[in-house]
Chains A and B, each alone.
Chain A
Amino acid sequence: MKKFIYFALTVFALGLTTSCTSDDNSISNDDTTNPTKTDLTIKVLEQKNDHYNIAIYSNVNEFYAPSTTPIIVEITDATDANNKVFTDVSMNIMMHMTMPNGHKKSHSAPISQLKPIAGSSNKFEGEIMFSMAGMDIEKNFWEIEIKAKNKDKNIETKLPTTVRNGQFFDRNDINSIKGSDRKTLETFNIDSEKHFAALHHVSKFIVGKNNIAVSIYKREDNGMRFPEVGELQVSIDPRMPDMANHGVLDGVIKLNYNSTTKQYEGKLPLSMTGYWFLNLVIKDQAGNILAGQPVGLDADGKETVNGDKFFDLVF
């Protein structure tokens, strides 16, 4: 009898202890999702200039185009680790091409100018909108020019880089999501003038409402200037092509132009993690579509036909 009591007590105690070990903080995403890297921690480029070291970090191993590529520029002094205050930091971007006939051509691309990262005086973040690929570091490449000041000394550095062609989701082939690059830059024409739509980097997407911003740039001066364009209507319709192309809200999300930031801004609702196709439609003030198409109906009357202009994200 006694043995039985001990046994029963042990079972009871076991029940209590195993139960109590259940994780109280289990609200953390597991590894079932395949998120895109959002932290800018991959060192893509590095160059020495005198005793300074200039490194460029991003969220990709290799730049690709077209894309809105977030970067962090870090400047350090190899001779003095405490020398960390750099001012008047700016960048410029230039693509250099050598034509088959030997002629050389250059043009720039839209950027978000470098700004110091809060709490740091030697790290600066910005974005480069690589508009095309260039895979020959001698003849067909991009060059990032960094200017900075340190103790009244001007630093000027040029970092050449190749940019590969992005592999993007093909809206007609669901399987092309696999291994695809994120689409963050679209190109379209207004009155035969080339324009770019750039989805600015979001450091972390959440299931919920996300602040997003899109800039529209117009190509001017043979690609040397890219002023922001207001007075358009920019809308996004988030969809999940993996899941019968469902959305969140029935209808599109209109982004509002902020004349201070010169960006179209709004809240993007993402109802779950996964791959999101952001169907992009750009209209003029009169409501005429300039780029993209609204999500259309298929033969079964379901909203599965996405437009040809889009951004996408995975988280």
Chain B
Amino acid sequence: MISKNHLIASLLLTLPSLLSAQNTVEQDTLSAKALEEVIVTHKSQSKNLTEKKPLASVDDYLAKQENITLVRRGAYAWEPMINNMSIERTRQTIDGMQIFHACTDKMDPITSYVEVNNLDGMDITSGSQGSMFGATLGGSIDLRTRKLSFTEEDKLTAQVQTGFESINKQKIVGGNFDYTAKKFYVSGSIMYRDADNYKAGGNKEILYSQFRKLNASGIIGYAINNSHSLEAAIIYDKATDVGYPALPMDVGLAEAIITSVKHTYKPTGSWVDKWETKLYYNTITHRMDDTNRPNVQMRMDMPGSTDTYGAYTTLSTTLKDSHHISVNANTYYNKSLAEMTMIPNNPGSANMFAYTWPNIKTNYGGLTIKDHWQIDDKNSVLLSGTLGINFNHVSEKGINQLSIFLNDDTFKQNKTRTVGNIAANYEYFYDSWLFGIGTGYGNRAPSVSEGYGYYLFNSGDRYDYIGNPNLKNESSYEGNFFVKYASPAFSTKLSGSVFYLDNYIIGVIDPIYNAMTIGGLGLKKYANIDHAIQGTLAWNFTYNLDANWKVSGGLTYSFGEDSDKNTLPFIAPLAYSTTIDYKYSVFKTQLSLKGNAVKNNAAKAYGEVRTPSYAILDWNANYDFLIKEQSLNIGVGIENIFDTHYSTYADWNKIPNPGRNFFVNLTYKL
């Protein structure tokens, strides 16, 4: 193991010198853009996340991004995966802030606590390069909230939004405004969604798929002088009465308060390009219960909460005109607590109680250095490294609980781990061709559930999961490449990455323990299996037929196997999409086909079953009516035009997807 680490480390260390030796001439003209193509698979710039369907959910938006797949447990709060890896193996942040989901069943990924109208976009980074805000294996998603800048003239923009979706009678209403001035800016947004149960293809109602969500945000900025500015921001999100048809429980309340204060130093004529420092605090309250389900053998209440305090500081600088360097120091403190109370149906019996997350405190401190080195106009290298210390503390009660399931009593209340990443990517630009190759190493600590979870029932494989504080860190050795050809009319890209995950953490059946949950099959304990291998290969193209017509599409192949040749859970089958776009002035329309091939290689060892293939067709159109200074944007569309009844591999317990949906989105810009 040690020798393997050494090999990788020395390889990474020698790579830059090899590269610099190769290239001696040339000027520095190629912008950083080309590099971002591969490193950041998506960096949206537009104010509207989804211009075709402006009021689509963040989940809908994520679903369209390269390398992202979503596990769906209902109509709300889908769980994003990057390179087919879920939250434990990825890093998901909002403006660089660590926020931890408060549901032990992953019913509230952090992406569920924002709204489209308080987001500018998101930075999605594949693999070890995504370690800016902490160690990661699969990559990172950083949701970027709205950014405002100071303006010479006072300026107020505002819009009101409303929408309707037929499939679940979803009513959407919202608005936002930006006011900017020379020394001051303020911005606010609010959005409310109210949805009934949706209907799957064939007009079949999916019970417990309703939700209500209120999201509001505010930002205030103040310019101290030309180079110093302060910003305070808050996001409040409250979802109530959220049904999870794929699960035995629903959510009465999912509430987040996300606050931050940021200082930005952006001097002119200094070696510092930008220096940003942020202090933040967020708290999430999640109440899961089965109050609304009839005929439950045992009522359960499973509330959970997380509190996170954090700070980071990022300094960006350019050295010798060719090294674009960012240094980030990042620290946070998180407390995760969740409990379950089981209420027997027979009157007078004692309630049963245990902590599902027995008050786990995590402290993290880490340093990340990135150097984007523009060697010349043909060659560039991106190097990044992260070193962090992850400290966990679990309550005495947690120790007592877990000691039942650990055959030794060796684990302690405190556990300190060293985590980190190192990655190197090289790009070569020639004519209309761009080639890239990269390698990376990542090392992560187990998540709260993996380390300390207690009787976490997985309704997919029907096992109760028990955490294991003695787990070793999981690490990844990653290789990636891409080849891109781009001309004004036609561009195409083939890319791929492969991950060798050492000490892969997954639940392993422990037959000596009894099933606890009624209907459960038994108990799984998180364990390190020898290794797993995962990878993806993706191809896409865009063809601009003329100024009005565009055809684009792509194919993605994924694989994942553990050391016993079992398929890993939630590995996508062959996925494809084709889109035809037509644009004339401010009128845009799009017809798109997307589908998955049959998934025969289900992860049977992990409770998965075969998923048939599917393909669905969507259409949408968008038009801007100008009314003097103001404008009304109308977006309409039909999703799943043929009302196909289908489930994908990522639909938890194979809940069917929505059938034919008519939507209309209206945005009135004041």
Contacts and interface: CB of A to CB of B under 8 A. Distances in A.
Contacts of A174: 346, 349
A24 B257 CA distance: 17
Interface in A206-232: 206-209
Nearest to B285: A22
Interface of A: 1, 4-5, 8-9, 11-12, 15-16, 18-20, 22, 24, 26-27, 29, 32-35, 174-175, 177-179, 206-209, 240, 242-244, 246-251, 269-275, 314
A277 B349 CA distance: 13
A242 B401 contact: no
A8 B186 contact: yes
B513 to A, nearest CB: 6
B627 to A, nearest CB: 26
Contacts of B515: 246
B351 interface: yes
B522 to A, nearest CB: 8
Nearest to B523: A250
Contact of A244 (B220, B351, B359, B518): B518
Nearest to A4: B186
Contact of B349 (A4, A35, A177): A177
B468 to A, nearest CB: 16
Interface in B430-487: 455
Contacts of A16: 259, 281
Given A208-B399, A242-B350, A246-B514, 11 more contacts: A19-B307, A27-B397, A32-B343, A32-B353, A207-B355, A207-B397, A250-B513, A271-B455, A274-B342, A274-B352, A275-B352
A311 to B, nearest CB: 16
A32 B351 contact: yes
A175 B518 contact: no
Interface in B180-228: 186, 188, 218, 220
Contacts of B358: 27
A11 to B, nearest CB: 6
B217 to A, nearest CB: 10
16 contacts: A1-B179, A4-B186, A5-B186, A12-B220, A15-B259, A19-B259, A20-B281, A22-B305, A22-B307, A34-B351, A206-B400, A208-B397, A242-B349, A243-B344, A244-B518, A246-B516
B338 to A, nearest CB: 11
A217 B513 CA distance: 32
Contacts of A269: 404
Given A1-B179, A209-B400, A27 B281 contact: no
B257 A12 contact: no
Q: Interface residues of B: mostly helix, strand, loop or mixed?
A: strand
Contacts of B342: 242-243, 272, 274
B341 interface: yes
B346 A27 contact: no
A9 B512 contact: no
Given A8-B218, A248-B404, A250-B514, A243 B352 contact: yes
Contacts, number: 147
Interface in B325-355: 335, 337, 340-344, 346-355
Interface in B344-399: 344, 346-355, 358-359, 395, 397, 399
A239 to B, nearest CB: 9
Contact of A27 (B283, B297, B344, B359): B359
- The interface centre, meaning the residue of A26, A174, A207, A247 with most chain B CB atoms within 10 A of its CB, is A207
A22 B518 CA distance: 33
B403 interface: yes
B511 interface: yes
Contacts of B353: 29, 32-33, 207, 272-274
A314 B350 contact: yes
Contacts of A27: 337, 355, 358-359, 395, 397
A271 B281 contact: no
B382 to A, nearest CB: 37
Contacts of A18: 257
A177 B516 contact: no
A271 B516 contact: yes
A242 B400 CA distance: 23
A35, A209, A244 pick with most chain B CB within 10 angstroms: A244
Closest 8 A/B residue pairs (Cβ): A178-B348, A208-B400, A274-B352, A272-B354, A242-B344, A247-B514, A269-B404, A273-B353
Given A271-B455, A274-B342, A250 B218 contact: no
Interface string B511-540: 111111010000000000000000000000
A240 B186 contact: no
B211 to A, nearest CB: 23
Contact of B512 (A208, A243, A250, A314): A250
B400 A179 contact: no
Contacts of B593: none
A9 B348 contact: no
Contacts of B298: 242-243
Contacts of A5: 186, 220
B440 to A, nearest CB: 36
A1 B185 CA distance: 11
Contacts of B337: 26-27
A5 B186 CA distance: 8
A249 B335 contact: no
Most buried by A among B340, B344, B518: B344
Contact of A178 (B220, B346, B399, B403): B346
Interface string B222-251: 000000000010101000000000000000
Contacts of B186: 4-5, 8
Most A CB contacts (10 A, CB to CB) among B355, B358, B401 go to B401
B505 to A, nearest CB: 22
Nearest to A247: B514
Contacts of A249: 512-514
A67 B419 CA distance: 55
A126 B511 CA distance: 40
A245 to B, nearest CB: 10
A246 B457 CA distance: 14
A273 B186 CA distance: 51
Contact of B350 (A248, A271, A274): A274
Contacts of B344: 242-243
Nearest to B154: A1
A237 to B, nearest CB: 10
Contacts of B512: 249-251
A209 B234 CA distance: 44
A247 B512 CA distance: 11
Nearest to B515: A246
A206 B397 contact: yes
Interface string B288-309: 0000000001100000010100
Contacts of A270: 404
Contacts of B348: 175, 177-179
Given A24-B335, A248-B514, A275 B350 contact: yes
Contacts of A15: 234, 236, 257, 259
B351 A33 contact: yes
Nearest to B218: A8
B218 A240 contact: no
Contacts of B355: 27, 207
Given A208-B404, A246-B515, A12 B259 contact: yes
Contact of B401 (A24, A208, A244, A274): A208
Residue of A18, A33, A243 most packed against chain B (CB within 10 A):
A243
A273 B352 contact: yes
A276 B68 CA distance: 46
B514 A12 contact: no
Contacts of B340: 272
Given A22-B283, A33-B351, A209 B404 contact: yes
B347 A175 contact: yes
Nearest to B222: A5
Given A22-B305, A206-B397, A272-B352, A11 B218 contact: yes
Contacts of A33: 350-353
B307 A34 contact: no
